[in-house]
Structure 1
Amino acid sequence: MLITIKYFGQIAEVTQQEEESLEFSGVFISELIEQLYEKYVPLKNKDFKVAQNQELVTLETQVSGSDIALLPPFAGG
């Protein structure tokens, strides 16, 4: 399945892009993250959340949407 991944903040700095389309044949978000770690090794050292279709998800969530975002930590106030 072709998915669109959006990168924000320090994650975009690591990937050197704000968005990309990626072919993904796995099932879970964790598999997608592993695929991204292989492509962007420095990403392993970054803390981030994953959103699917604009909702935060866990690594055990099945990939069901084509819109994924990697979000850096939020600052509270």
Structure 2
Amino acid sequence: MQITIKYFGQIAETTKKTEEIINFEGETIFELLELLYIKYDSLKHKEFQVAQNEELVSETTKATGKDIAILPPFAGG
């Protein structure tokens, strides 16, 4: 399946992209992240959250092919 991934903040700086479409054959967010870690090695050292279809999800969540957002840590205040 094709998945659109959107990168924000310091994650966009790391990937040097704000958005990309990738072909993904896995099933979970964990597998998707493993693919991204191979493509962007320095992403392994960043803290971030993953949203799918505008909801925060865990690594065990099934990837549905909806839009994925990689979000930097939120600042409190």
- TM-score by length of structure 1 reads 0.98
Residue in 2 aligned with 1:12? 12
Amino acid at match of 2:51: A
Q: How does 1:31-42 map to 2 (within 5 A)?
A: 31-42=31-42
Instruction: Report the Cα offset of residue 64 of structure 1.
Output: 1.1
1:36-56 deviation per Cα after TM superposition (whole angstroms, max 9, x unaligned)? 000000000000000000000
Q: Matches of 1:53 and 1:65 in 2, distance apart?
A: 9
Matched, 1:26 2:26: yes
| % identity of equivalent residues | 62
Residues matched between the structures, number: 77
> Is there any run of 5+ residues in structure 1 with no aligned partner, and where?
none
Runs of 4+ aligned residues of structure 1 deviating over 2 Å after TM superposition are: none
Which consecutive residues of structure 2, in runs of 5 or more, have no partner in the other structure? none
SS in structure 2 at match of 1:3: strand
SS in 2 for 1:6: strand
Cα RMSD for the two superposed structures: 0.5
